[in-house]
Protein backbone atom coordinates (compact mmCIF):
# COMPACT_ATOMS: atom_id res chain seq x y z
CA UNK A 1 0.00 0.00 0.00
CA UNK A 2 1.24 3.56 -0.67
CA UNK A 3 1.92 4.16 3.06
CA UNK A 4 4.61 1.47 2.95
CA UNK A 5 6.24 2.82 -0.21
CA UNK A 6 9.41 4.85 0.52
CA UNK A 7 8.39 7.38 -2.11
CA UNK A 8 4.93 7.99 -0.66
CA UNK A 9 5.95 10.55 2.00
CA UNK A 10 8.02 12.34 -0.58
CA UNK A 11 5.15 12.41 -3.05
CA UNK A 12 2.62 13.81 -0.56
CA UNK A 13 5.05 16.57 0.48
CA UNK A 14 5.40 17.70 -3.15
CA UNK A 15 1.76 17.23 -4.12
CA UNK A 16 0.40 19.53 -1.41
CA UNK A 17 -3.27 19.82 -0.47
CA UNK A 18 -4.81 18.53 -3.70
CA UNK A 19 -2.81 15.28 -3.47
CA UNK A 20 -1.62 15.54 -7.07
CA UNK A 21 1.48 16.97 -8.74
CA UNK A 22 1.16 19.70 -11.38
CA UNK A 23 3.90 21.02 -13.71
CA UNK A 24 5.13 23.73 -11.34
CA UNK A 25 5.33 21.30 -8.41
CA UNK A 26 7.15 18.79 -10.59
CA UNK A 27 9.68 21.40 -11.70
CA UNK A 28 10.37 22.38 -8.08
CA UNK A 29 10.77 18.72 -7.12
CA UNK A 30 13.15 17.85 -9.97
CA UNK A 31 15.22 20.96 -9.27
CA UNK A 32 15.39 20.39 -5.49
CA UNK A 33 16.40 16.74 -5.85
CA UNK A 34 19.10 17.77 -8.33
CA UNK A 35 17.80 15.30 -10.88
CA UNK A 36 19.58 17.06 -13.76
CA UNK A 37 22.93 16.87 -11.96
CA UNK A 38 25.50 19.04 -13.72
CA UNK A 39 23.04 19.74 -16.54
CA UNK A 40 20.70 22.75 -16.54
CA UNK A 41 17.49 22.07 -14.52
CA UNK A 42 14.32 21.24 -16.45
CA UNK A 43 12.28 24.09 -17.92
CA UNK A 44 8.60 24.42 -16.99
CA UNK A 45 7.85 23.58 -20.62
CA UNK A 46 9.52 20.17 -20.34
CA UNK A 47 7.76 19.50 -17.03
CA UNK A 48 4.40 20.25 -18.67
CA UNK A 49 5.15 17.72 -21.39
CA UNK A 50 6.14 15.15 -18.74
CA UNK A 51 2.78 15.60 -17.01
CA UNK A 52 0.91 15.44 -20.33
CA UNK A 53 2.63 12.16 -21.25
CA UNK A 54 0.99 10.35 -18.32
CA UNK A 55 -2.13 12.47 -17.86
CA UNK A 56 -4.74 10.46 -19.74
CA UNK A 57 -7.72 12.16 -18.10
CA UNK A 58 -6.38 15.64 -19.01
CA UNK A 59 -6.43 17.18 -15.52
CA UNK A 60 -2.90 18.59 -15.92
CA UNK A 61 -1.83 16.73 -12.77
CA UNK A 62 -0.20 13.42 -11.78
CA UNK A 63 -1.15 10.90 -9.10
CA UNK A 64 1.28 8.68 -7.16
CA UNK A 65 1.47 5.84 -9.69
CA UNK A 66 2.17 8.21 -12.58
CA UNK A 67 4.78 9.96 -10.44
CA UNK A 68 6.65 6.70 -9.90
CA UNK A 69 6.29 5.72 -13.54
CA UNK A 70 7.74 9.08 -14.60
CA UNK A 71 10.82 8.66 -12.40
CA UNK A 72 11.49 5.21 -13.81
CA UNK A 73 11.27 6.50 -17.39
CA UNK A 74 13.35 9.61 -16.64
CA UNK A 75 16.09 7.54 -15.02
CA UNK A 76 16.33 5.36 -18.10
CA UNK A 77 16.61 8.34 -20.43
CA UNK A 78 19.14 10.06 -18.19
CA UNK A 79 21.39 6.98 -18.21
CA UNK A 80 21.08 6.89 -21.98
CA UNK A 81 22.05 10.59 -22.28
CA UNK A 82 24.95 10.36 -19.82
CA UNK A 83 26.33 7.40 -21.77
CA UNK A 84 26.20 9.30 -25.04
CA UNK A 85 27.49 12.58 -23.55
CA UNK A 86 30.92 11.14 -22.70
CA UNK A 87 32.66 14.47 -22.12
CA UNK A 88 29.85 15.64 -19.75
CA UNK A 89 29.42 18.84 -21.76
CA UNK A 90 25.66 18.54 -21.26
CA UNK A 91 25.07 18.22 -24.98
CA UNK A 92 24.94 15.49 -27.60
CA UNK A 93 25.60 15.83 -31.31
CA UNK A 94 22.86 15.32 -33.92
CA UNK A 95 24.17 11.94 -35.13
CA UNK A 96 24.38 10.70 -31.52
CA UNK A 97 20.78 11.81 -31.02
CA UNK A 98 19.69 9.70 -34.03
CA UNK A 99 21.36 6.75 -32.35
CA UNK A 100 19.61 7.52 -29.04
CA UNK A 101 16.19 7.59 -30.69
CA UNK A 102 16.85 4.38 -32.60
CA UNK A 103 18.06 2.71 -29.37
CA UNK A 104 14.74 3.56 -27.72
CA UNK A 105 13.03 1.43 -30.35
CA UNK A 106 11.32 4.16 -32.39
CA UNK A 107 11.22 3.50 -36.13
CA UNK A 108 11.33 6.87 -37.81
CA UNK A 109 12.34 7.82 -41.35
CA UNK A 110 15.59 9.77 -41.83
CA UNK A 111 13.55 12.79 -43.01
CA UNK A 112 11.42 12.91 -39.85
CA UNK A 113 14.47 12.22 -37.69
CA UNK A 114 16.28 15.19 -39.24
CA UNK A 115 13.33 17.51 -38.66
CA UNK A 116 13.03 16.36 -35.04
CA UNK A 117 16.72 16.84 -34.31
CA UNK A 118 16.72 20.34 -35.81
CA UNK A 119 13.71 21.24 -33.67
CA UNK A 120 15.39 20.22 -30.41
CA UNK A 121 18.87 21.64 -31.11
CA UNK A 122 20.48 24.91 -30.13
CA UNK A 123 23.39 25.96 -32.33
CA UNK A 124 23.63 22.39 -33.61
CA UNK A 125 23.77 20.67 -30.22
CA UNK A 126 21.11 18.97 -28.10
CA UNK A 127 21.00 19.88 -24.39
CA UNK A 128 19.69 17.55 -21.68
CA UNK A 129 16.43 19.48 -21.11
CA UNK A 130 15.59 19.45 -24.83
CA UNK A 131 16.63 15.82 -25.15
CA UNK A 132 14.18 14.84 -22.43
CA UNK A 133 11.44 17.03 -23.93
CA UNK A 134 12.02 15.27 -27.25
CA UNK A 135 11.94 11.76 -25.71
CA UNK A 136 8.79 12.53 -23.69
CA UNK A 137 6.95 13.92 -26.70
CA UNK A 138 8.00 11.13 -29.01
CA UNK A 139 6.86 8.50 -26.52
CA UNK A 140 3.57 10.24 -25.78
CA UNK A 141 2.70 10.83 -29.44
CA UNK A 142 3.62 7.24 -30.30
CA UNK A 143 1.44 5.99 -27.40
CA UNK A 144 -1.46 8.17 -28.56
CA UNK A 145 -1.07 6.84 -32.08
CA UNK A 146 -0.80 3.17 -31.07
CA UNK A 147 -3.79 3.37 -28.76
CA UNK A 148 -5.88 4.36 -31.82
CA UNK A 149 -4.15 1.97 -34.25
CA UNK A 150 -6.13 -0.99 -32.96
CA UNK A 151 -5.40 -3.12 -36.02
CA UNK A 152 -1.67 -2.31 -35.77
CA UNK A 153 -1.52 -1.21 -39.38
CA UNK A 154 0.68 1.83 -38.77
CA UNK A 155 -2.25 3.99 -39.83
CA UNK A 156 -4.89 5.94 -37.89
CA UNK A 157 -8.00 7.77 -38.98
CA UNK A 158 -8.11 10.97 -36.90
CA UNK A 159 -11.10 13.23 -36.38
CA UNK A 160 -10.01 16.90 -36.17
CA UNK A 161 -11.00 17.35 -32.52
CA UNK A 162 -9.27 14.14 -31.41
CA UNK A 163 -6.15 15.10 -33.38
CA UNK A 164 -6.04 18.51 -31.66
CA UNK A 165 -6.69 17.02 -28.21
CA UNK A 166 -3.89 14.47 -28.44
CA UNK A 167 -1.28 16.81 -29.96
CA UNK A 168 -1.98 20.21 -28.32
CA UNK A 169 -1.40 18.89 -24.79
CA UNK A 170 2.15 17.87 -25.68
- Contact residues for a copy of itself (CB under 8 A)? 24, 43-45, 48, 52, 58-60, 108-109, 111-112, 114-116, 118-119, 121-123, 134, 137-138, 141-142, 145, 149, 154-161, 163-165, 167-170
Quick one: what does residue 89 bind among a copy of itself, Ca ion, none, with the CB cut-off 5 to 8 Å set by partner type? Ca ion
Say how far apart CA 47 and CA 45 lie, in whole Å.
Answer: 5
For residue 169, the tally of other CB atoms under 10 A from its CB is 16
Q: Are 27 and 49 in contact (CB under 8 A)?
A: no
Dist. CA 11–CA 101, nearest whole Å = 30
Query: What is the CB-side half-sphere exposure of residue 62 using CA atoms within 13 A?
Result: 27
Question: Which one of a copy of itself, Ca ion, none is in contact with 18 (Cβ closer than 5 to 8 A by kind)?
Answer: Ca ion
Give contact residues for Ca ion (rule: CB under 5 A). 15-16, 18, 85, 87, 89, 91
**CB of 6: closest distance to a copy of itself in angstroms?**
30
Residue 95 partner contact from a copy of itself, Ca ion, none using kind-dependent CB cut-offs of 5 to 8 Å = none
Q: Is 90 within 8 Å of 38 (Cβ atoms)?
A: yes
From Ca ion, a copy of itself, none, interface partner of 147 (C-beta below 5 to 8 A by class): none
Q: Which residue is nearest to Ca ion (CB)?
A: 89
- Nearest-angstrom CA–CA distance, 24 and 51: 10
Amino acid sequence: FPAQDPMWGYFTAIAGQDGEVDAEELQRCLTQTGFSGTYTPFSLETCRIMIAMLDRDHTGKMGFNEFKELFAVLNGWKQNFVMVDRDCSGTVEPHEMSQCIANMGFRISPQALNAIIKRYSRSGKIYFDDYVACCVKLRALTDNFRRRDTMQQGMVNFQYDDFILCTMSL
